Amino acid sequence: MSVLEADSEMLYAAVSGLLAERGLVTKAEILERMAVTDAASPALGAAMVARAWTDPAYADLLVADGTAAAEEVGVMMRGLPPLGVLRNEALLHNLVVCTLCSCYPRAVLGYPPFWFKSPAYRARTVRDPRGVLADWGTVIGEDVRIRVVDSTADYRWMVLPMRPAGTQGWSQERLASIIRASDMIGVTVPTAETVREPT
Amino acid sequence: MTLKAGALVRIKDEWPEALGPVHCRTPHYVRGKAGTVVRHLGDFPDPGDIAFAREPALRRLYHVAIPLDRLWPEEPQGELVIEIYDHWLERGA
């Protein structure tokens, strides 16, 4: 039987046992990391975006050093890939894909949505980004440059969307409530009427 | 190789997977294509070495921009920005 065919629970027990036996990683450390991974959700990224919308200095930090900006709001980034943040502008729209696999900023967005991992999304986004956006009902002006970011190596990328009209005076909490994972991947843009799916 | 933002580069048209097992982070669709360095992202141990438990070489990682109409026959508008290690880059377009 190959590793690919092995029962996953038995494989986990065997590999984690070997790692512990060799003093590389304890089972407690694995469980701690699993708990951190399970606890991460798009609400973390949304809180960072909402703060950036209300705090220009934080927005600059987010774009310059996403890892430091995540740590500033309490996300543990030690040992994780660096976080890169792509700022949408009036004439620039960013869209993130991982054509080779499904690299995703899990620390701040949680598990990737199923479609982000699909061969169709990965193949089509780098070839027909406007078609992908149209499928999502996302309207981006013809004069706006589309920048597709293929996450091929060591960084994990998220989009800093533009603050939508009609949100003047909103609290950070209320702003965060309209920001979805899809906005931070770039397939959608938030509006004042957006309702985030429960996470 | 040290490259500045704006430097013209070409991603090598190499196919190491034809020679034996590899772990390669340069997708097929950009090989042989010309682009422009956006910025140096940092230096990282080569995942191609890590995957085979070799002592990893430290690679300079660059963000490289390529117009989409250079990649696909439909000539779509827009640009691709992609992470490429320096050992996959050649100077000049």
Nearest-CA distance from B28 to chain A in Å? 10
First to last CA, chain A: 38
- Tell me which chain A residues have a C-beta less than 8 angstroms from the C-beta of B82: 149-150, 152
Select the residue from A149, A151, A157, A159 to test the B interface by mutation, using most B Cβ atoms within 10 A: A149
> In this structure, how many other beta carbons lie within 10 angstroms of the beta carbon of residue B13?
10
Phi, psi of A87 (to 5 degrees): -90, 120
CATH-assigned architecture of domain A41-185? Alpha-Beta Complex (3.90)
Nearest-CA neighbor of B68 among B48, B49, B82?
Answer: B82
CA distance A50 to B60: 33
CA distance A96 to A185: 5
pLDDT of residue A197: 61
Q: Is residue B66 part of a domain?
A: yes
**Chain-chain contact of B80 with A151 (C-beta, under 8 angstroms):** no
CATH of the domain at B74: 2.30.30.50
* ipTM rounded to 2 decimals: 0.97
CA distance B21 to A111: 29
Q: Is residue B68 part of a domain?
A: yes
Q: At CB < 8 A and 24+ separation, what contacts does A75-83 make?
A: A75/A40, A75/A44, A75/A107, A75/A108, A76/A36, A76/A107, A77/A107, A80/A107, A80/A156, A81/A154, A81/A155, A81/A156, A82/A154, A82/A155, A82/A156, A82/B41, A82/B42, A83/A107, A83/A108, A83/A155, A83/A156, A83/A157, A83/A158
CA distances from A113 to A24, A128, A140, B79 (A): 31, 20, 22, 24
Q: Is residue B64 part of a domain?
A: yes
Q: Is residue B1 part of a domain?
A: no
Nearest-CA distance from B6 to chain A in Å? 16
Contacts of residue B39, defined as CB under 8 A and 6 or more positions apart, other chains included, come to B5, B62, B63
Number of domains present in the structure of chain B: 1
Residues with pLDDT less than 70, chain B: 93
Domain-wise residue ranges, chain A = 3-37, 41-185
pLDDT of residue A198: 55
CA distance A13 to A29: 14
Question: How many degrees, rounded to 5, is the angle at CA A113 between CA A183 and CA A186?
Answer: 20
Hey, what amino acid is at A170? W
pLDDT of residue A158: 98
Domain region containing B35: 8-91
Per-residue pLDDT of chain A (199 residues; tens, 9 = 90+): 788 888 999 999 999 999 999 999 998 999 988 888 898 999 999 999 999 999 999 999 999 999 999 999 999 898 899 999 999 999 999 999 999 999 999 999 999 999 999 999 999 999 999 999 999 999 999 999 999 999 999 999 999 999 999 999 999 999 999 999 999 999 999 999 877 665 5
A171 in active site:
no
